[in-house]
Structure 1
Amino acid sequence: MDQEYLMLRDELLHLDSVVNNTINFFYVFIASFIAFALTQEDTIFILLSYIVIIPAYLIVISKMQGICKIGAYLSVFHEGGKFNWESRNIKFSQRHVNIFSYIVSSNFPFIFVSAAVVILFLYRTQWDTFSLVYEKCKLCSGFLLFLVVLVLAYKNRNITTKDYIKKWEDI
């Protein structure tokens, strides 16, 4: 039992490092790509940054859910005698409410970068040629992609260990 607990805690640490590395690589790539896209005439290059934003965001959400599932498993099946981290962390979180009680902090980079991309896209759009179907399609695509990120953020705004404890207790 102790070995399983320690192995799962190691997996938690691994998933946490995957989340942090994904966000770091995301920032580096987006900064480089946006610098490139701003040198181009066509604003479609700015919108192409969503090819990285959405998959990176989905990876982070998946890993955050994995972290919470493992934390809930540990809380239900392993805590009591020696190990009580998850239960104590839940109690601590209930007593100390802050902004991250309402939204997972890993959502912020993707929401802010997505908003920045839309703002840059709108700024760089050539409004004198807006009557073209191509420009209208890009504008609709930009808002649709931004909406996808906002919906993902809303649906995953509060991923916590508590969400999975009841599911593990039912097993």
Structure 2
Amino acid sequence: MGFAGHKRFVLILLFCSLVAFDCIVSKKKEDTIHQQLLSWILTSGTNPSCLDYYSQENLCLKSPVPINEKCSSQEMDRLQSGIQPANLQNREVLEELLRCWSKCNSTFFLSHSPCSFETESDYVTAKRSGSTNNGNLWRQCQSNCNTGADPSFSKLKGISTTTTYWPYP
């Protein structure tokens, strides 16, 4: 095979490789679009504050938690019942609390590199840790939310919660 034949063979091989690669990439892109659509359908009835909170948590998890379960009416009722005093046990205050907790998750996510935990339990343990600056930042932020001390969230004024690390058991 001469130079021209070798060149033609290389070009044909390159062309076939590009076509095969494009098929693989297109399939992955299509799968991603389908996953995003399915996720949207499953969470479309979900409370936006809860969706945001658990979506941020999922950024740090290798196996994301099912948001539709975490934001179910029963789970929202459970979280709401942990708010004290009783006159603040309503969805409006709970949504404000979830927004405040989301801020804490963002703080942890941005300061913890890499943020990739095997399980939700591992993630919660890391956030609760007082041995790292990231854990201390999260704990202080969470405490400010759970006691109404964060001035950015005025609806939380006068709130207290049943446990230090609430909403986690």
Per the normalisation by structure 1, the TM-score is 0.31
More helix by share: 1
Superposition TM-score, scaled by structure 2 size = 0.31
The structure with higher relative contact order (CA 8 Å, sep 6+) is 1
